[in-house]
């Protein structure tokens, strides 16, 4: 009963139409046969009037839609004595919303699957059960409470049970843990984390309960950001979803002309109605939105969150692509080459402070510093306060047992660190190396020298883009030309713009022809240019929030091969949408011509049009792709050997 009530609330006109049809059918079995036609006809005219009011409002706003055909068909069918044909058209018109909802739900299944997996609850540790209990999550019993994830505050101590989701971005307190991060990064193998390392919300804990300290509220945690992007994508009503509106006026005129000629030549007004009942517009109104939602769902299967159907349409026409370098063309996972501590610091102290600060950074180089500290067996320090400064670095305040006074650490590019440490000395870098600079309490602590690598899939991805119609490629980077140009030549990128600040990137990308242009980036400093491009493509696997929010597409998996995949999905989606629209138009025109010669009664024509609707929608659902379609890792096509080019620009 509750299910029926919900259906009545959701689709009252559909239920009302079915009830009128049932009443009419019952009356046909009684002496009051004429009453059935009067009731059905009157109801059909009421619905036509209701739709006409909405149509007039749309016309006042300057929007000429397809509703005029349905309204005219209903009215004409009633006036020429075909009320039951009119009722079938009404059923098609009112049932279109239910049909569209079903098709949309099926086409969005991958998007809604992401929403269902979002963390909902957290277990907060209130106090150890006895004095001296171990708070590292191993054997001690603790007093806990289950709370909604929205109530978690930064600094809360959390218990994450085996197989449970990490509720918010947190710092691991337990000595060691294993997590499944496949829903975040696409990495199928479990990931090991040690005490002091950051773990993103949405990761699945392994086989042992662990203790963590909340590092961000739910709204600012990684999986919740993904959820917000998915909700934005699922709720998008981009103008391209109204692709069929391009055909609205020509199709309406054609239908009215065929109907008018049929009436004029035959002298029978019923021909006018018979033509129009097969010219109803549901294939045009529903097919395009279903196809684009299906394309977005298919993209989500490959870790791509597309924020609207308009983005897929732009991708299908893209002709230029611009790339950031670090973390985009390169892995953004450089390996430690050497440590250059200043006279007052040791190598371990330099690396420990730098890594403890970089835990709070979203920059692509930060995780490499943390991993280097882990490999050196260093324990990290939890910050009292940390702040990331876009394009510059991260500042953090620590208090350690060895130093009762709080210390302020800066990690980042030399020009920024020098503001707090005027004694900074630039490192002497070999070709292919980059440096990260560190200051402690306003004094230069040293530099960390690392080496980055080109992504092994980059060359193949660029060749695929060329095959998909991308005519012009360029690298827009904050790095120096001596580093960027040889990488670009090796990968076949046609031009390089080096040493660019965020404003420079926006200016360059805005002037590039031909359009549309895809901009691929990953960091905070890429947010403005991602927003300025026709299609912003964020490499969002590491959770660079500003970049993800500014982009049109967020790639949750750390692979550049997702870009040609996105372009291919865009082309497939637009092709299927257009095929579905034209399929509906061609079949409808064919049925109109048959009806014009008097071979298709109005009632039969109305039911045939329902079949046309279903065919068009089923055709549009092809954009979802087969269920068996899954990510396949590209075989290496480019060597991962290190490229030996010099650099002096460290953090873009």
3-state secondary structure 158-200: EEECCCCECCCCEEECCCEEEEECHHHHCCCCCEEEECCCEEC
Instruction: Please tell me the predicted confidence (pLDDT) of residue 631.
Output: 45
Specify whether 346 is located in the same domain as 488: no
- Hey, which residues does 472 pair with through a beta bridge? 320
Measured distance CA(596)–CA(585) in Å, rounded:
16
**Number of compact structural domains in the chain:** 4
Q: In what order do the strands lie in the sheet with 191-194?
A: 191-194, 176-180, 204-205
| Pairing of the two strands 157-160 and 191-194 | unpaired
Q: In what order do the strands lie in the sheet with 210-214?
A: 142-148, 121-128, 157-160, 210-214, 170-172, 198-199
Per run of 10 residues, the mean pLDDT along the chain (length 652 residues) is: 70 88 89 88 92 81 70 90 89 72 63 73 76 45 86 94 93 92 68 88 90 92 75 53 66 92 94 89 74 89 86 94 90 88 90 94 83 91 87 87 82 92 89 84 94 90 97 88 81 90 87 95 77 87 61 88 96 92 88 94 89 85 75 36 33 48
Measured distance CA(7)–CA(101) in Å, rounded:
12
Specify whether 416 is located in the same domain as 565: no
Residue 489: which CATH number?
Answer: 3.40.50.1000
Q: Within 10 A of 116 (CB to CB), how many other CB atoms are there?
A: 7
Q: Which residues of 486-525 are buried (b: 16+ CB within 10 A; e: fewer)?
A: bbbeebebeebbbebebeebbebbeebeeebbbbbbbbbb
3-state helix, strand, coil in the chain (%, to 5): 50, 20, 30
Q: For residue 516, which phi and psi values (nearest 5 degrees)? A: -70, 160
- Is 221 domain-assigned? no
Measured distance CA(502)–CA(609) in Å, rounded:
54
Closest among 344, 366, 346 to 355, alpha carbons compared: 366
Q: How far is CA 521 from CA 233, 256, 627, 652, in A?
A: 20, 51, 30, 11
Task: Give me the sign of the Cα torsion angle 505, 508, 511, 517.
Answer: negative
- Is 115 domain-assigned? no
Specify whether 273 is located in the same domain as 211: no
Specify whether 489 is located in the same domain as 478: yes
Three-state SS for 398?
strand
Identify the domain boundary among 451, 478, 504: 451
Specify whether 543 is located in the same domain as 613: no
Confirm if 526 and 324 have CB atoms less than 8 A apart.
yes
Instruction: Please tell me the predicted confidence (pLDDT) of residue 270.
Output: 92
Closest among 88, 72, 430 to 256, alpha carbons compared: 72
C-alpha 137 chain-centroid distance:
35
Specify whether 490 is located in the same domain as 395: no
- Hey, which residues does 515 pair with through a beta bridge? none
Confirm if 445 and 438 have CB atoms less than 8 A apart.
yes
**Helix residue ranges per DSSP H, 533-639:** 545-550, 562-596, 602-620
Task: Give me the sign of the Cα torsion angle 227, 231, 232, 238.
Answer: positive
Specify whether 339 is located in the same domain as 447: yes
Task: Give me the sign of the Cα torsion angle 298, 302, 308, 313.
Answer: negative
Among all residues, which ones are annotated catalytic? 324
Specify whether 202 is located in the same domain as 262: no
Identify the domain boundary among 569, 587, 614: 569
Q: For residue 594, which phi and psi values (nearest 5 degrees)? A: -65, -45
Confirm if 623 and 576 have CB atoms less than 8 A apart.
yes
- Is 239 domain-assigned? yes
- Is 634 domain-assigned? no
- Hey, which residues does 393 pair with through a beta bridge? 389, 412
Q: Indicate the DSSP class of residue 633.
A: P
Identify the domain boundary among 524, 551, 569: 569
Residue in the structure block whose two tokens are 């039951």: 84
- Is 652 domain-assigned? no
Specify whether 73 is located in the same domain as 129: no
Specify whether 341 is located in the same domain as 314: no
- Is 630 domain-assigned? no
Instruction: Please tell me the predicted confidence (pLDDT) of residue 650.
Output: 42
Structure token digits, residue 17:
């139409």
For residue 436, the enclosing domain spans 335-451
Q: Within 10 A of 560 (CB to CB), how many other CB atoms are there?
A: 25
- Is 178 domain-assigned? yes
Residue 160: which CATH number?
Answer: 2.70.150.10
pTM of the model: 0.71
Interhelix angle for 562-596 vs 309-317, to 10°? 100
Specify whether 432 is located in the same domain as 531: no
Instruction: Please tell me the predicted confidence (pLDDT) of residue 434.
Output: 79
Q: For residue 138, which phi and psi values (nearest 5 degrees)? A: -95, -65
Specify whether 512 is located in the same domain as 580: no
Q: How far is CA 582 from CA 19, 143, 283, 288, in A?
A: 34, 64, 9, 11
């Amino acid at each position: 009963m509750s299910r029926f009530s919900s259906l009545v609330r959701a689709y009252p006109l559909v239920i009302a139409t079915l009830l009128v049809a049932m009443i009419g059918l019952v009356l046909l079995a009684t002496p009051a046969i004429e009453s059935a036609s009067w009731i059905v006809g009157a109801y059909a005219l009421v619905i036509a009037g209701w739709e006409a009011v909405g149509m007039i409002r749309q016309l006042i706003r300057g929007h000429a839609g397809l509703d005029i055909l349905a309204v005219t068909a209903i009215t004409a069918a009633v006036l020429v004595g075909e009320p039951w044909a009119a009722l079938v058209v009404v059923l098609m018109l009112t049932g279109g919303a239910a049909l569209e909802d079903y098709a949309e739900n099926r086409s969005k299944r991958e998007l809604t699957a992401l929403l269902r997996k979002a963390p909902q609850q957290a277990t907060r540790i209130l106090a150890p059960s006895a004095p001296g209990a171990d708070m590292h999550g191993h054997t001690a019993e603790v007093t806990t409470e289950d709370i909604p994830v929205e109530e978690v505050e930064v600094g809360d101590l959390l218990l994450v049970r085996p197989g449970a989701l990490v509720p918010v971005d947190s710092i691991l307190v337990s000595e060691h843990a294993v997590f499944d991060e496949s829903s975040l990064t696409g990495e199928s193998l479990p990931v090991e984390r040690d005490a002091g390392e950051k773990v993103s919300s949405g990761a699945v804990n392994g086989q042992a309960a662990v203790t963590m300290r909340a590092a961000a509220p739910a709204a600012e945690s990684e999986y919740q950001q993904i959820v917000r992007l998915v909700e934005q994508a699922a709720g998008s009503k981009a103008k391209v979803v109204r692709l069929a509106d391009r055909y609205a006026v020509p199709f309406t005129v054609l239908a009215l002309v065929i109907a008018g000629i049929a009436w004029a030549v035959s002298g029978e007004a019923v021909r006018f109605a018979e033509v129009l009942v097969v010219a109803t517009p549901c294939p045009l109104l529903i097919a395009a939105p279903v196809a684009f939602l299906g394309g977005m769902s298919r993209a989500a299967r490959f870790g791509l969150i597309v924020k609207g159907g308009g983005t897929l349409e732009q991708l299908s026409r893209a002709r230029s692509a611009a790339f950031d370098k670090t973390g985009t063309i390169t892995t953004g996972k450089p390996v430690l080459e050497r440590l250059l501590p200043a006279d007052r610091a040791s190598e371990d102290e330099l690396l420990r402070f730098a890594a403890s600060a970089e835990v709070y950074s979203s920059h692509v180089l930060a995780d490499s510093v943390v991993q280097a500290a882990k490999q050196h067996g260093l324990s990290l320090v939890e910050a009292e306060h940390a702040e990331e400064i876009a394009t510059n670095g991260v500042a953090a305040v620590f208090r350690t047992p060895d130093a009762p006074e709080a210390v302020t650490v800066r990690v980042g590019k030399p020009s920024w660190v020098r503001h707090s440490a005027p004694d900074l000395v630039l490192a002497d870098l070999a070709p292919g190396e980059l440096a990260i600079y560190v200051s402690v309490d306003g004094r230069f602590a040293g530099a960390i020298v690392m080496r980055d690598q080109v992504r092994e899939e980059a060359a193949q991805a660029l060749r695929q883009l060329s095959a998909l119609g991308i005519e012009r490629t360029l690298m827009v980077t904050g790095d120096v030309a001596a580093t960027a140009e040889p990488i670009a030549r090796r990968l076949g990128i046609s031009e390089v713009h080096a040493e660019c600040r965020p404003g420079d990137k926006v200016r360059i990308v805005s002037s590039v022809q031909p359009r549309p242009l895809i901009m691929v980036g990953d960091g905070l400093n890429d947010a403005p240019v991602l927003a300025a491009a026709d299609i912003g493509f964020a490499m969002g696997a590491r959770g660079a929030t500003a970049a993800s929010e500014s982009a049109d597409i967020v790639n949750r998996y750390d692979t550049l091969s997702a870009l040609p995949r996105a372009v291919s999905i865009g082309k497939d989606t637009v092709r299927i949408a257009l095929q579905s629209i034209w399929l509906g138009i061609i079949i409808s025109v064919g049925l109109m011509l048959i009806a014009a010669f008097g071979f298709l009664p109005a009632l039969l024509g109305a039911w045939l049009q329902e079949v046309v609707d279903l065919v068009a929608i089923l055709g549009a659902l092809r954009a979802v792709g087969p269920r068996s379609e899954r990510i396949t890792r590209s075989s290496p096509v480019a060597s991962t050997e290190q490229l030996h080019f010099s650099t002096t620009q460290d953090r873009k």
